[in-house]
Each structure stands twice: as structure tokens, then as C-alpha cells.
Amino acid sequence: MTLLVTGFGPFPGVATNPSGLAVERLARDGLDGITTQVLPTEFHACFQTLAAAARDHDVSGILMLGVAQEAPALRLERFALNWIEGGRPDAAGVALDEPVVREAPLAYASTLPLEEIAGTLRDARVPFELSAHAGTYVCNCLFFRCLHEQARASAPVPAGFVHIPMPRDLDHGAPDAPSLAELCDWLRPVLRTLLERS
């Protein structure tokens, strides 16, 4: 069984996306039971790429990562909203103002064990917060599409989203933010928790 961990590539205003870099670094760790994929930060292509990666493996869970530039800590997202906010183009220049999936629920709850993950992070002294939802941009679009498909699947797998801060060693990172290497250290307890449950 395999845990799929995804991050994103660049998008307008973020030339280097730390979620994609973190995924690449975690892949180099060679952890058993993990496969990784960097996704295009595009409303339509992101889920298509994730779904193709999931089909290629016996996936037991899906952990999606994205960057929240203003976040001071890991942000465990509770809900995905069925809405894309207008005016902010994705990496392909597409801007939408519409539901993620028409005639679908207003929101889906994460199916990851968030309270267990929170306990693991607390024990490891990793700063984190539980967030109400993943926003209304590409991160949320991917999160909602993934949960929508899992809700309709005959054998659904746990799936959820975690936002990471912008590290200090990349452009726009705050001086007191963690480094990219430290962010990967913060994520490893999350991975261990999910692998132990798979």
C-alpha cells in the first residue's frame, strides 16, 4: 500500500513553490510506502495529474501539500469548499469564479485523522494549527475534487490537505520562518502517522 504525497509547481507571484520542493526532497529520503508527485498549479490539470499518479499505484491515502505564504506553521485543513474565487489566475492564466463541481455538496471534510496528526505534531513540538478551510484557489480546488471523487469511489482512501509556510530560504519567506529543510522535518511526523494507519 502506498501513500501519495503531492505538492505544487510555480504560480503567479510564487516563482518557486516550496510544496513542490518539499515533495522532491521527501522523495529523495526513500521512505518505504511513499510515492510523490509535483502538480501543475492549474485548476483543471492539477486533479488530472493527481488522479493519474493515484492510478499508477495501490494508493492507501493521499496527502496534498500547498503553500500559504502568510502561515506561521503547518496548517491542517479541515474542509474543502465547493467554490473557486474569481480574479486570481492560475499558472496557465485561467481565472474562474464558479463552483469546483456543479451540483455537488457545498463542502467536504478532510478524511485524514486530523486529531491524531495534531497529537503527533504536538508531541514532536512541531508548530501547527487547525484551519477551517483551504481557501478558494487551486489548493482548495484540488482538495475538493479529490474528496468528491473519493466520496463516489467504491473503495475510498483517506485524503487531506496541509498548507506549509513560505520558508525563509526562498523569496518572500519571513526571516523567522523555518527553512525548507526544517519544513521537511515538520512533515515527517505527519507521514509516519499516515503510514502507520495504512
Residue from 42, 46, 133, 139 carrying the catalytic annotation: 139
Active site residue 103: no
Q: How far apart are CA 61 and CA 112, in angstroms?
A: 8
Are the C-beta atoms of residues 164 and 67 closer than 8 Å to each other?
yes
Q: Are strands 34-39 and 107-109 parallel, antiparallel or unpaired?
A: unpaired
Are the C-beta atoms of residues 164 and 71 closer than 8 Å to each other?
yes
User: What's the distance, CA 120 to chain centroid?
Assistant: 18
Active site residue 133: no
Residue from 42, 146, 148, 163 carrying the catalytic annotation: 163
Q: How many CA atoms lie within 13 Å of 21's alpha carbon, on the beta-carbon side?
A: 19
Q: How far apart are CA 187 and CA 185, in angstroms?
A: 5
Q: How far apart are CA 80 and CA 160, in angstroms?
A: 9
Active site residue 46: no
SS (HEC) of 96-146: CCECCCCCCCCEEECCCCHHHHHHHHHHCCCCEEEEEECCCCHHHHHHHHH
Q: Phi then psi for 117, rounded to 5 degrees?
A: -60, -45
Residue from 42, 46, 77, 148 carrying the catalytic annotation: 77
Give the residue numbers annotated as catalytic, written as ranges.
77, 139, 163
